[in-house]
Amino acid sequence: MLTRAYKHPLNSSTVPAGQPLLDIRDIGLRFGGVVALAEVSTTVTAGHIHAIIGPNGAGKSSLLNCVSGIYRPQSGSIVLHTGAEGTSHELVSQPPHQIARLGVARSFQNIELFAHLTVLENLMLGRHVHMSTSVLASLLWFGPARRQEIAQRGLVEEVIDLLSLQPHRHQAVGSLAYGIQKRVELGRALCVQPSLLLLDEPMAGMNSEEKEDMARYILDVHELAGVTVILIEHDMAVVMDISDRVSVLDFGRLIADGTPDEVKANAQVIEAYLGAEQH
């Protein structure tokens, strides 16, 4: 993986590439009598794009919600490794804002941007997890808040450059094409300066040209910025092309976990998701 020498590193992890970054062990999640996840285990390696696939309702987004703290599983462990010296954090007991401070950022299946704010303003919101002043003080832009905003601006400019958002920086997000809005959401997550980036169907609702663009930007985030990515995506051509490892869920259970070639050859995966035409 080739990384660009950024003035403001976009990847906050110091875990060496090829070492475990996230260990998910025996995660169980239930909603009443419905089992969303049943003893799911996998390891995400630093420097990899790790895809999670499966039919609708398989538990993919539920797993990301457990990692990001939106859901708290009833059993299991999720450990984020944050340093080469062996520093690690159990995420199951942490609230979402603290998990974000540890370097886990995410985008959502449905766009969750502030439509009336500009691209630049939406991206700056991604930096507030690293700031000590309140959002209100930052919006008023005075005193310490102003100084902090200026200090954080450099990294945001790096993201604008990486994702080719310069022509749209002062436009209201709500006025932009859908594909560009999805790119802005990717950028806002990247502005958290993550060690781990969770992308929940970043290409949902896109046409083929927009999907190609988004795939290229995800690869840029991975290869140039050095960010480890967990990706949920239904487009199997994209998944198999850009992923280093693939985990497959079906009815909340992990049925396969391996390289794209291994997963494509797995009979359970073919039956549950890819379809008979993949033989």
Handedness of CA 172, 176, 180, 183 (dihedral sign): positive
Q: Give the pLDDT score at 226.
A: 87
Sequence-distant (6+) residues with CB within 8 A of 224 are: 2, 3, 4, 162
Kindly report whether the global pTM for this prediction surpasses the value 0.75: yes
CATH of 20-278, one of 3.40.50.300, 1.10.287.990, 3.40.710.10, 3.40.190.10: 3.40.50.300
Q: Give the pLDDT score at 125.
A: 85
Residue 60: how many CB atoms within 10 A of its CB? Answer: 26
Domain boundaries, the chain: 20-278
Handedness of CA 17, 192, 56, 72 (dihedral sign): positive
> How large is the C-alpha radius of gyration of the chain?
19
> In angstroms, what CA-CA distances link 114 with 172, 190, 192?
9, 16, 16
Q: What is the DSSP letter of 82?
A: -
Q: Give the pLDDT score at 105.
A: 92
Q: Give the pLDDT score at 279.
A: 41
Report mean pLDDT in 10-residue bins for the chain, 279 residues: 56 85 97 94 96 92 96 96 80 92 85 88 80 54 59 83 94 93 92 92 90 93 91 91 95 95 90 57
